[in-house]
Amino acid sequence: MHASPAKGWLADFLILAAIWGSSFLFMRLAAVELGPLPTAAIRVAIAATFLLPIMLAKGHWAQLRQHWKPVLFVGALNSGIPFALYSFAVLHITTGFSSILNATVPLFGAVVAWLWLGDRPTLSRTVGLAIGFGGVVLLAGGQASFKPNDSGIAPAWAVAACLAATTCYALAASFTKKHIPSLPPLVTATGSQIGATLVLALPALWYRPDHWPSTSVWWSLLVVGVLCTGVAYILYFKLIENSGPARALTVTFLVPVFAIAYGVLFLGESVTAWMLLCGAVILLGTSLSSGLIKLPGR
């Protein structure tokens, strides 16, 4: 009897959610001084610099050179554009709200995978997606605020930016499954960050700040570049390879839970019973939509 497939990817799934839960905070810290485009560009450049020597040491250069076009393209779609959009969004809405909107990725991903790859969700996964989305809506209703801010930008534009980013993630996941299915995760992760760096380089230079960033900003960029991008994308593409794009994308249901937990532990933010209840609902939806648990007879 073979072991359940869930056991092979569950650890990567949880670690990735924990890492990505912190990325919104670090983006916010950097974007306040640098602006959205430089923040996103430096993030992917650091990630590419971190990953490239590892990939070369593993002897994967020939594979990247052979498949460089789709890999670089997916970098623009899965890193360059979304990171810039989220770096903009966290300047105008809270990081927690941004992470909640990020949890809509599996909904877009399931639809794209169904229409593009014919990956029709089972009843259990469909119910799980609905439950997970319901939990996100309930959590957003208790946490999100649309009060006008002092930036001169309507929060609705930040919300639209987050949803545009989630659409990019969904498209990139199915593109990866269809066009780059056999590459090692390290090759895809490294090449995608190189592609994102190339796409963002000129816009970032154009909108560069007129001052040298503070030390805290550089530390934030280092963490978000190495851990939240370099290490995280190795895990992410590994998840797509092992479990498919629709299931891999459900990791974003857990990201708000971790983001709220970090706020409580490190920022002294309060947590309510309602937030815990919504977190439990999201966890249930994630378990169903990822196939970790199934409805009886389904």
Average pLDDT, the chain: 84
User: How many Cα neighbours within 13 Å face the side chain of 121?
Assistant: 25
Predicted pLDDT at 6: 52
- The pTM for the full model equals 0.82
Which letter, b or e, does each residue of 199-227 get, where b requires 16 or more Cβ atoms within 10 Å of its Cβ? Answer: bbeebbeeeeeeeebeeebeebbbbbbbb
Inform me whether the pLDDT recorded for 275 exceeds 70: yes
User: CB of 112 within 8 A of CB of 279?
Assistant: no
The neighbour count for residue 115, using CB atoms within 10 Å, is: 11
Burial-class residue 270 by CB neighbours within 10 Å (0-12, 13-18, 19+). exposed
Separation between Cα atoms, residue 270 and residue 49, nearest integer Å: 37
Report which residue type is found at 10. Answer: L
pLDDT score, position 207: 92
What residues contact residue 83 under an 8 Å CB cut-off, 6+ apart?
27, 39, 40, 43, 44, 196, 200
- CA 87 to chain centroid: 12
The C-alpha atoms of residue 227 and residue 148 are separated, in whole angstroms, by: 33
Q: How far apart are CA 40 and CA 200, in angstroms?
A: 8
Quick: pLDDT tens for 35-90: 999 999 999 999 999 999 999 999 999 999 999 999 999 999 999 999 999 999 98
Q: Is the pLDDT of residue 253 over 90?
A: no
What band does 3 get if pLDDT is binned at 50, 70 and 90?
very low
Checking if the pLDDT of 5 tops 60, the result is no
What confidence score (pLDDT) does residue 4 get?
46
pLDDT classification of 100: cutoffs 50, 70, 90: confident
Is residue 222 pLDDT above 50, yes or no? Answer: yes
| Model pLDDT, residue 1 | 40
Instruction: Round to whole Å and give the CA distance between 255 and 172.
Output: 19
Residue whose pair of structure tokens reads 């709220």 in the numeric block = 260
- Helix (H) or strand (E) run with residue 123 in it: helix 123-143
Give the Cα separation of 289 and 245 in Å (integer). Answer: 12
